[in-house]
Copies of this chain bind each other. A is one copy, B any other.
């Protein structure tokens, strides 16, 4: 999988992704008896493909933390995650696999530089090669403003992100508390990551959650 790491311009004056606290947690759930082998195998596949480069990875008993140590941060995170999900799908024979993802940037407990409302980074859109694995996801975006920080109403940022995803064709409908995304795993992850990074140009602390389902036996998922 080409990760387009070399030809991206990243406009992030000064601070490193690590100083900006750019990273994610994810958990991956193969719905099969040999889930341990599927998970460990998928993580190893992504490592062998070179996709862990520039990332700090720590797996604990609930999920895996992935911090971006090098640019392009969003690109590295999403290429790695798409690879792990596709590998888990492949290793489970196309069975039902769900990934839950938390994307975070600018959390005050993680940040090691002065994040003001100006001078925030403007990363390039994520580009990941198609995985061939279709996904259905539920996606939520949380701009974490302070009550005296300016930067507008949180719903304005959310609505603008949903409008972008609709134009892109991955967002298809609203569900309670979430927006439904469909498409190749790569498109779904890129949609969420780009929206998260775009709000991050205006709001220092932005989190997004994404439940990505592949190979679901639900009738609706077959449609």
Contact = CB atoms under 8 A, between A and B. Distances in A.
A135 B175 CA distance: 28
Interface stretch (A9-17, A31-39, A42-50, A74-82): A31-39
B144 A146 contact: no
A147 B144 contact: no
Interface in A98-143: 98, 100, 102, 104, 107-110, 136-138, 140, 142-143
Given A61-B218, A61-B220, A147-B145, A33 B32 contact: yes
A221 interface: yes
Contacts of A183: none
Contacts of A109: 174
Contacts of A221: 61
Interface residues of A, number: 62
A25 interface: yes
Interface in A131-165: 136-138, 140, 142-155
Copies in the complex: 2
A145 B154 CA distance: 7
B211 A177 contact: no
A198 interface: no
Contacts of A102: 140, 177-178, 209
Contacts of A200: none
22 contacts: A25-B138, A25-B177, A25-B178, A31-B33, A36-B217, A60-B218, A61-B218, A61-B219, A62-B138, A65-B175, A102-B178, A104-B176, A104-B177, A143-B144, A144-B145, A145-B145, A146-B152, A146-B155, A147-B151, A147-B152, A147-B154, A148-B152
Contacts of A136: 61-62
